Amino acid sequence: MARLGQDFHPDGEVVRGPGTTAVAVREHPGEDGGAGHVDLGFVLHLGRADAPVVWDCAPGLGKTEEEKLANAVKLWATTTASVLVELADGRGIHADRPNLPELPGWRAVQGPAAVFGFGNEHLAAWLAEHRVLSALAPALERELSGPGPVGVKLFLGGKAGDDVAEVRVGGEVSEAASAALRALDWPRGERLCWARLFVLLTAERAAAAATPTGAPAPVPVRAPAPAAARARGLFARWREARRAGR
């Protein structure tokens, strides 16, 4: 968080930040016990019962559990925390605020994409040149309700013939949005490569304030869907290929 210009410090069971912001940590659910995954919740108004908490899970690679979790937190900070910091301070430094006429009544804050794996420059260039969120808007609109903020996470990649495309809205897998993401022509190479993006959507009637009043209860993050489980298998294969220099 210090990389984002934020002063955070441990305080009991949370990591407290500027003003009323904080980050909470909880055990990641799943059959594998959440190995290499961490669930982090950004608290917008600590101590207020009706305040929204934006939960997101992130995976990490490494030789030890400590290294995996450290890398997971770094991934979360890059893609998700940058969006939440921008929501709070509105300076336009750490995330973008794209215009989304395809989602009437909603405003978006979109963070930088984390792209990793072999030949990741091709996927990174494609993401920079295409308005992916606009392409997914028809599927996303059916999933949105309430004032928000609603977190939308995109995960795509793999390789030709063995790819993964998953969109989570408020922590829940959206089958329609995931199918729309898979249908896009992002580059599938012969070697493993992935991208992760996080977007926060807020209804315009509530977007005037950085933290809307009367916000919904914290959104839970459920156990990974089959697509996410398959992605973990691809991660393992990429890690082995990387070690072997292939």
Q: Which residues contact 18 (CB under 8 A, 6 or more apart)?
A: 6, 7, 88
pTM of the model: 0.77
Q: For position 146, what pLDDT does the model report?
A: 77
Taking residues 134-144, what's their average pLDDT? 91
Taking residues 105-123, what's their average pLDDT? 90
14-30 b/e (C-beta count within 10 Å ≥ 16 → b): bbbbeeebbbbeeebbb
| Of the candidate ranges 50-64, 72-86, 114-128, the one whose mean pLDDT is the lowest | 50-64
Q: For position 30, what pLDDT does the model report?
A: 57
Summary count for the chain: helices (H), strands (E): 6, 11
Establish how many alpha carbons lie within 13 A of residue 103's alpha carbon, considering only the half-sphere containing its beta carbon: 26
Residue position matching structure tokens 């900070």? 77
Residue 178 has pLDDT above 90, yes or no: yes
Taking residues 180-199, what's their average pLDDT? 92
DSSP-derived secondary structure for 49-72:
TT--EEEEEEE---SSHHHHHHHH
Q: For position 207, what pLDDT does the model report?
A: 52
Work out whether strand 14-16 and strand 114-117 pair parallel, antiparallel, or are unpaired.
unpaired
Residue 242 has pLDDT above 70, yes or no: no
Q: For position 195, what pLDDT does the model report?
A: 93
